[in-house]
Homo-oligomer: A and B are copies of this chain.
Amino acid sequence: MSTQDRSAIAIGANTWIWESPITDDALATLAPRIRGWGFDVVELPVETPGDWYPDRTAALLSGLGLGATVCCAMGPDRDLTGADPEVTAATQNYLLFCVDAAATIGATVVAGPIYAPVGRTGHLGPDEREAMLGRAAAALRPVAEHASSRGVRLGVEPLNRFETNLINTAAQVIDLVDRVDHPACGVMLDTFHMNIEEKHPAEAIRAVGPRLAHFHACGTDRGTPGTDHTDWTAIAGALREVGYAGPVVIESFTADNLTIATAASIWRPLAPSQDTIAVDGLAFLRRVLG
């Protein structure tokens, strides 16, 4: 299908399914394939600003009639929770770049664990946690204000316990986003993380409610949506109930790229091919999301 019913949820594919980092050259080949399979949206990670050029990407996507979303990569130097103002400012600048890149390519969401480096874990005392959340909320507010001015919304994402110690659940991200208290600062939920952290993922979606700004879908093992034990009917029902208008983006990671495989702890292929995750996942999500 090359056009999409206006009332249906748009479905996307994150380029991490195949590539890391994504570049203009790789995207010139990949984006037409993604469009050809029938996706509405391509999600572009910003690992290092400059990996891909927003103006060139805008022209490419526009020619294909392909929408976009932007996701962030929170490496070890990106942190809004610490006491070092230079690290906070550099991280804010990175997020502002992501927002501007999103606006340039017509994306209305910039999403990810935009508070702390992925992989930082360990015990946090209550005072330390409180200080970190306060600093993150304060640092996110000007980013949300800028995002709002560019027609973009932030989606703050909980990660599972092995990838962060700060925001693992919907309840915790609601706390952070409510501290930011800006309509352009919403929540991203991801079925992989919810499967580990939420007692009931559909209830987590309902708790987030209108704060839901973005949604990632993949199998419970990060493989193809629909080949796994997620209760997709319950997920789809909760998304409808909270009035989520999409997009739903398939996020997985290639095991063939050592950097991304290691970052995502992928030690085996999760599907017969990476294309399978996209193609079969899209067909399944079209059916279940209606």
A interface, CB within 8 angstroms of B: 121-124, 160-163, 165, 168-169, 172, 195-201, 219-221, 223, 227-229, 231, 258, 261-262, 265-268
Q: Tell me whether B262 and A123 are in contact (CB under 8 A).
A: yes
This chain's copy number in the assembly? 2
Q: Tell me whether B195 and A196 are in contact (CB under 8 A).
A: yes
Tell which of B123, B219, B258, B268 touches A258, judged by Cβ atoms closer than 8 Å: B123
- Measured in the bound complex, the distance between the Cα atoms of B165 and A267 in whole Å is 6
Majority SS at the chain A contact face? loop
- Measured in the bound complex, the distance between the Cα atoms of B262 and A121 in whole Å is 8
Residue of B nearest to A129 (CB): B267
- Measured in the bound complex, the distance between the Cα atoms of B220 and A267 in whole Å is 22
Report B-chain residues with C-beta under 8 Å of the C-beta of A123.
258, 261-262, 267
Q: Tell me whether A201 and B229 are in contact (CB under 8 A).
A: yes
- Measured in the bound complex, the distance between the Cα atoms of B267 and A165 in whole Å is 6
Q: Tell me whether A267 and B161 are in contact (CB under 8 A).
A: yes
Q: Tell me whether B199 and A265 are in contact (CB under 8 A).
A: no
Residue of B nearest to A202 (CB): B229
Q: Tell me whether B198 and A262 are in contact (CB under 8 A).
A: no
Report B-chain residues with C-beta under 8 Å of the C-beta of A121.
262, 265, 267
